[in-house]
C-alpha cells in the first residue's frame, strides 16, 4: 500500500525562510501569514489530506465512476470527503471577503493545493476547477452575476467547471461551434456539445456552475468571435436560491487512462439559459486572465504526484533488499543490502527530491508574485511581479507536469516489477500524471507561448524580470567561496540560456520552424536554470543554518543542491546543442 505524509516542514521552510512571506504583512491579506498562524493551518490541511483524501485514492482508482442516464456516481466515501473539505472552510481560503471568502493570498493556499493533489488528484480536480471558475467570475462577472453565483461557490456548496473543448476544437479554440442566441430578457440560450469536461456532472455539490465558450450569431470567425457565458445545472433565482433544472445534460463519461474518479464528461447544452460574462466576442481575453493561476495549479498537480511518488520510492528503497553495495556490504547481517545503497537507485531518488523541493519553491514563488502583482500598492513591484509571472507561467506548467510524470515513472523503476503491479499503488501515479502534460494547454503549446509571445514582449521586458535578479544574486556572491559551487554553474548555465535565447530570437526571424522546432527543449532549459537559481538560494539559507539545531534538514538541502548542480543542470549542454542544430532534420524528414 502506498504511503503519504504531507511535507509540512518543507512548506514552512519555503514560506518562512525562502520567501519570507512575513515581510509582506502590510500587503492586503498577508497580515496573518506569519508562522504562528500558518503552522496550525498547515497541520490541519495535512491531516485532512493524509487521513481523509489519501485513503480513498487507490480504492477509488479501482472502483471508478458509474454513469447512468445523465447521472454520475462516485465511489463510496467521495461525497463524505467533499463534505469534510467544505466543512473545513478550505474552498473559501483565498476568495474575496465580500462574497464570504477569507481573503488570504494564493501563496498560502499552495501547500493545500499540493497536498490535495498528492493525496487524491481525482478528488482535487473538482475544487481546483471551481477555483478557476470563481476567478473568471470575480474578474469578469457583472455585480448581478457575482451576487448570484459566488457566495455558494465560495463555500464550496456549488462547484464550477470550464467548458471549452469540442470534438473539433482542442488547442484551436477558434474552431468552437457552440452557439449562444440572445433572449428577450437579456439572457442567452446555449446550444451545442462539449467534450472532456472535468467535473461536468457529479453528486458532490448541490449545483454546478458552467463557464462556457460559445459563439454569438454576429460573431466574427475564429478566435476573435468567442464569448464567455455562465450557466448552471439548476437555474438560480434572483434571491440566490435554486430553481428548476436547466437544459444541461451529461451524455456520458470518458473512460480514461487515469484519474478514474474524476468525471470527464460529454456535455450537451440544449438551449440552456446562460448569461454573458465580460464583453461580447472577448471571451478568450477573460480566459487568458485566469490562465496564469490555472496553469500554475495544473503544474502543482504534477508536483503533488511527484511528491507522493518520491515518498513511496524512498520508503521502498530503504526496505527492499537486493544485491550488495559495490564498495562492500553495508548491512552484512542482512541477506542483502537495501537497494538505496546502489548509485543508480540513489540517483533516481535524488532526482525526485531535487524536483519536488525545487519545484515546490518555484511554484510557491510564482504564487507569491501573482499575489503581489494583484495586491501590492507599489506599481513598480506590481509590474516586476507580473512580468515574472507572464514569463515563467509556461515554463512552470510544463516543467512541473513533465516532471510529475517522470517522477512517477522513476518511482515505478525504483520498485522494479512491483512498481508495475497494481497492488503497490505507484503505477497509478504514472497514469494519473499523464494528462497534466496535455490539458490547460499542451506542454508543446506552452513552449510556443514562451518563444512566440513571452520572449519578444516589450523588447525583452519579461526576460529582464528573470535575468536581472539572477545576475544580481551571482554578483552578490562573487567573493563568497562557500557559495562558489552553486553560483559558478549557475553563471555558466545562465550564459547557455542567454545563448539559446539569442539564437532563437535571431533564427526565429529568418525561419520560424527553427524557433518552434527547439521550443520544447528551450522551455526545459529555461526551467532547469530557474530551478538552479532556486537551489542556489536554498543553499545560501542552508549554509547559514547547517550547524544549528536542525542541522540534518539543512544538510539535506545542501546535498540536494549539490546533486542538482552536478547531475541535472549539465543536461542543458545537450539541449543547447540540439536547439542550435535548428529544424532542418525535423522538417526535411520524410514522414
Residue ranges binding ligand FAD (CB under 6 A): 162-165, 170-171, 196-198, 256, 259, 264, 435, 438-439, 442, 444-445, 448
Other beta carbons within 10 angstroms of residue 5's beta carbon come to 14
510/270 Cα distance (integer angstroms): 48
Give whole-number Cα distances, 351 to 296, 307, 310, 567, 568, in Å. Answer: 21, 11, 9, 9, 8
Q: Please report the DSSP string for 431-478 in residue order.
A: HHHHGGGTSSS-HHHHHHHIIIIITTGGGTHHHHHHHHHHHHHHHHTT
Residue closer to ligand FAD, measured from CB, 230 or 534: 230
Q: If you ran DSSP here, which 8-state letter would residue 481 be given?
A: G
Taking the complex as a whole, how short is the minimal distance between the CB of residue 438 and ligand FAD, in angstroms?
5
* Positions marked catalytic: 440
Q: Residue 246 corresponds to which cell in the numbers above? A: 436547466
507/149 Cα distance (integer angstroms): 49
Residue closer to ligand FAD, measured from CB, 179 or 464: 179
Taking the complex as a whole, how short is the minimal distance between the CB of residue 513 and ligand FAD, in angstroms?
11
Residue closer to ligand FAD, measured from CB, 182 or 193: 193
Other beta carbons within 10 angstroms of residue 378's beta carbon come to 11
CA 362 to chain centre: 11
Asked if 367 and 25 count as a contact pair (C-beta separation under 8 A), the reply is no
- Give 288: exposed, middle or buried? Use CB within 10 Å, 0-12, 13-18, 19+: exposed
Q: Residue 377 corresponds to which cell in the numbers above? A: 500598492
277/140 Cα distance (integer angstroms): 6
239/32 Cα distance (integer angstroms): 33
Residue closer to ligand FAD, measured from CB, 447 or 561: 447
SS3 percent helix, strand, coil of the chain, rounded to 5, is: 65, 15, 25
Q: Which residues of 29-64 are buried (b: 16+ CB within 10 A; e: fewer)?
A: bbeebeeeebeebbeebbebbbebbbbbbbebbeee
153/190 Cα distance (integer angstroms): 22
Cβ neighbors of 193 (< 8 A, separation 6 or more) are 166, 167, 178, 251, 266, 267, 268, 269
371/560 Cα distance (integer angstroms): 29
Asked if 115 and 47 count as a contact pair (C-beta separation under 8 A), the reply is no
440/446 Cα distance (integer angstroms): 9
Locate all alpha helices (DSSP H) within 22-75, ordered by sequence. 35-48, 54-63
- Positive or negative: CA dihedral 53, 58, 63, 65: positive
Residue closer to ligand FAD, measured from CB, 176 or 463: 176
Q: Residue 583 corresponds to which cell in the numbers above? A: 529544424
Q: Residue 456 corresponds to which cell in the numbers above? A: 519578444
The pair phi, psi for residue 501, each rounded to 5°, is -60, -45
Residue closer to ligand FAD, measured from CB, 438 or 543: 438
Residue closer to ligand FAD, measured from CB, 297 or 439: 439
Amino acid at each position: 500500500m502506498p504511503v503519504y505524509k504531507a511535507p509540512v516542514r518543507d512548506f514552512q521552510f519555503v514560506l518562512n525562510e525562502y520567501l519570507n512571506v512575513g515581510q509582506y504583512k502590510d500587503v492586503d491579506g498577508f497580515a496573518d501569514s506569519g508562522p504562528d498562524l500558518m503552522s496550525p493551518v498547515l497541520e490541519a490541511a495535512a491531516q485532512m489530506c493524509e487521513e481523509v483524501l489519501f485513503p480513498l485514492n487507490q480504492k477509488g482508482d479501482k472502483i471508478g465512476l458509474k454513469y447512468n442516464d445523465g447521472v454520475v456516481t462516485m465511489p463510496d466515501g467521495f461525497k463524505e470527503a467533499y463534505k469534510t473539505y467544505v466543512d473545513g472552510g478550505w474552498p473559501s481560503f483565498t476568495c474575496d471577503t465580500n462574497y464570504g471568502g477569507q481573503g488570504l493570498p494564493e501563496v498560502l493556499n499552495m501547500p493545500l493545493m499540493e497536498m490535495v493533489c498528492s493525496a487524491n488528484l481525482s478528488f482535487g480536480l473538482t475544487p481546483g476547477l471551481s477555483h478557476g471558475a470563481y476567478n473568471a467570475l470575480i474578474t469578469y462577472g457583472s455585480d448581478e452575476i457575482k451576487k448570484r453565483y459566488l457566495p455558494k461557490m465560495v463555500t464550496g456548496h456549488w462547484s464550477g467547471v470550464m467548458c471549452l473543448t469540442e470534438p473539433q476544437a482542442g488547442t484551436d479554440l477558434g474552431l468552437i461551434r457552440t452557439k449562444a442566441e440572445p433572449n428577450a430578457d437579456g439572457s442567452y440560450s446555449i446550444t451545442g456539445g462539449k467534450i472532456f469536461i472535468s467535473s461536468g456532472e457529479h453528486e458532490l455539490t448541490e449545483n454546478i456552475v458552467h463557464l462556457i465558450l460559445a459563439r454569438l450569431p454576429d460573431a466574427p470567425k475564429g478566435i476573435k468571435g468567442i464569448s464567455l457565458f455562465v450557466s448552471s445545472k439548476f437555474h438560480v433565482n434572483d434571491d440566490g436560491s435554486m430553481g428548476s433544472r436547466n437544459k444541461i445534460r451529461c451524455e456520458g463519461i470518458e473512460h480514461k487512462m487515469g484519474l478514474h474518479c474524476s468525471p470527464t464528461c460529454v456535455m450537451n447544452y440544449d438551449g440552456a439559459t446562460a448569461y454573458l460574462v465580460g464583453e461580447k466576442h472577448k471571451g478568450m481575453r477573460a480566459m487568458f486572465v485566469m490562465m496564469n493561476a490555472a496553469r500554475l495549479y495544473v503544474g502543482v498537480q504534477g508536483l503533488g504526484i511527484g511528491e507522493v511518488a518520491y515518498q513511496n520510492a524512498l520508503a521502498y528503497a530503504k526496505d527492499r533488499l537486493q544485491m550488495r553495495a559495490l564498495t562492500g556490504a553495508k548491512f552484512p547481517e542482512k541477506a542483502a543490502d537495501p537497494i538505496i545503497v546502489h548509485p543508480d537507485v540513489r540517483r533516481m531518488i535524488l532526482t525526485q527530491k531535487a524536483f519536488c523541493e525545487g519545484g515546490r519553491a518555484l511554484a510557491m514563488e510564482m504564487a507569491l508574485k501573482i499575489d503581489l502583482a494583484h495586491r501590492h500598492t507599489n506599481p513598480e513591484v506590481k509590474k516586476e511581479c507580473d512580468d515574472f509571472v507572464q514569463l515563467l507561467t509556461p515554463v512552470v506548467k510544463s516543467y512541473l507536469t513533465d516532471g510529475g510524470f517522470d517522477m512517477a515513472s522513476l518511482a515505478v523503476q525504483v520498485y522494479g516489477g512491483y512498481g508495475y503491479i497494481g497492488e503497490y499503488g505507484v503505477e497509478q501515479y504514472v497514469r494519473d500524471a499523464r494528462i497534466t502534460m496535455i490539458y490547460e494547454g499542451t506542454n508543446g503549446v506552452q513552449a510556443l507561448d514562451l518563444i512566440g509571445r513571452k520572449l519578444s514582449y516589450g523588447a525583452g521586458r519579461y526576460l529582464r524580470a528573470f535575468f536581472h535578479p539572477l545576475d544580481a544574486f551571482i554578483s552578490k556572491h562573487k567573493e563568497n567561496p562557500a557559495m562558489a559551487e552553486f553560483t559558478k554553474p549557475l553563471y555558466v548555465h545562465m550564459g547557455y540560456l542567454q545563448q539559446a535565447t539569442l539564437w532563437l530570437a535571431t533564427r526565429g526571424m529568418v525561419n520560424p520552424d527553427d524557433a518552434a522546432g527547439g521550443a520544447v527543449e528551450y522551455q526545459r532549459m529555461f526551467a532547469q536554470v530557474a530551478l538552479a537559481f532556486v537551489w542556489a538560494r536554498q543553499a545560501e539559507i542552508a549554509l547559514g543554518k547547517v550547524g544549528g539545531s536542525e542541522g540534518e534538514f539543512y544538510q539535506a538541502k545542501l546535498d540536494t543542491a549539490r546533486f542538482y548542480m552536478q547531475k541535472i543542470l549539465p543536461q542543458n549542454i545537450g539541449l543547447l546543442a540540439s536547439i542550435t542544430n535548428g529544424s532542418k532534420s525535423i522538417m526535411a524528414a520524410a514522414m
